[in-house]
Amino acid sequence: MKTPVSVLCPAPLREDLPDVLVNALNDVTAVPDWLDAEDTLPASLVLAVTRDGLELRDHRLKKPLTTRVDFVTGAKAHRRKFGGGKSQAIAKAVGVNKARGITVLDATAGMGGDAFVLATLGCSVRMCERSPTVRAMLADGLHRARMYSAEADAELFEILSRMELVAVDSLVHLQSDFSDVPQVVYLDPMFPARKKSAEVKKDMQLFHDLVGADADADGLLEPALALASHRVVVKRPKIAPFLAGQAPGYQLEGKAGRFDIYPLKAFAETAKTD
């Protein structure tokens, strides 16, 4: 069951919000008006608008947990600089070791981590995220990173230019008419968290509570296979069954998870990199 979310946005901040965030925040909550003070919040999860961007706050813990999407600093920035490049499993799964400029539809974008890695590797990535709250956080992270990088980091700005977020449900988008069919459809559906709380990071548990179970995740595979021109890649925990019970053409396994690859067409030999 999904945990309800309230939007906290003090009135002085509302006039400065860009339209992309206003539209994203309007999709998050059924509360008619955004709230001004935290002591009036009816929910335990709060999406707070601050001068530094959106942050999700979990007030169910003794020490509130706070998380945000950040492409400039932290783990995403570290992985961009030191992540291993084309030797990464995700790069091989998508086919970056075989072709340049691969187009990817990330139909389960989440906080944008994998999409950012793929864009760093030269892919053009369109992102879908069904949770309005997560989508708002992702839109905010992209907006802040673009504003910063336009002035201070040309390399990051170029990477972000290869990332596009669309405000539509993944299943609907997969079945849309495409003028530019993606070469790869990438799926990373939510898998139930393990029972022992010590085994689950608090921020990941928060994400599970926010998004809920992807009970209809199996329904993504068939339209993904119908849409992609070259392959479908499914990211799964090691213990997870095949999506929709359909065995992949082959797998790439890591320490904690695996990539199930459903090949449809080989990448052109002329597109190989050195």
Query: What's the CA gap between 112 and 131, in Å, rounded?
Result: 13
CA distances from 219 to 25, 71, 125, 243, 262 (A): 28, 31, 22, 9, 15
The radius of gyration of the chain from alpha carbons, rounded to an integer in Å, stands at: 19
- Phi-psi group of 3: left, alpha or beta (phi > 0 → left; psi -120 to 50 → alpha; rest → beta): beta
Query: What's the CA gap between 73 and 198, in Å, rounded?
Result: 27
Task: Mention every residue, 6+ apart, whose C-beta is less than 8 A from residue 5.
Answer: 28, 29, 43, 45, 46, 47, 56, 133, 210
The response to whether 130 counts as a known ligand-binding position is yes
The response to whether 129 counts as a known ligand-binding position is yes
Query: What's the CA gap between 115 and 140, in Å, rounded?
Result: 15
The response to whether 151 counts as a known ligand-binding position is no
| DSSP classification of residue 35 | B
Query: What's the CA gap between 263 and 268, in Å, rounded?
Result: 13
For the beta carbon of residue 218, count every other beta carbon within 10 angstroms. 15
Structural contact between residues 163 and 191, judged by C-beta atoms closer than 8 angstroms: no
Q: Which residues are annotated as a binding site?
A: 129-130, 188
The annotation places the binding site for S-adenosyl-L-methionine at 129-130, 188
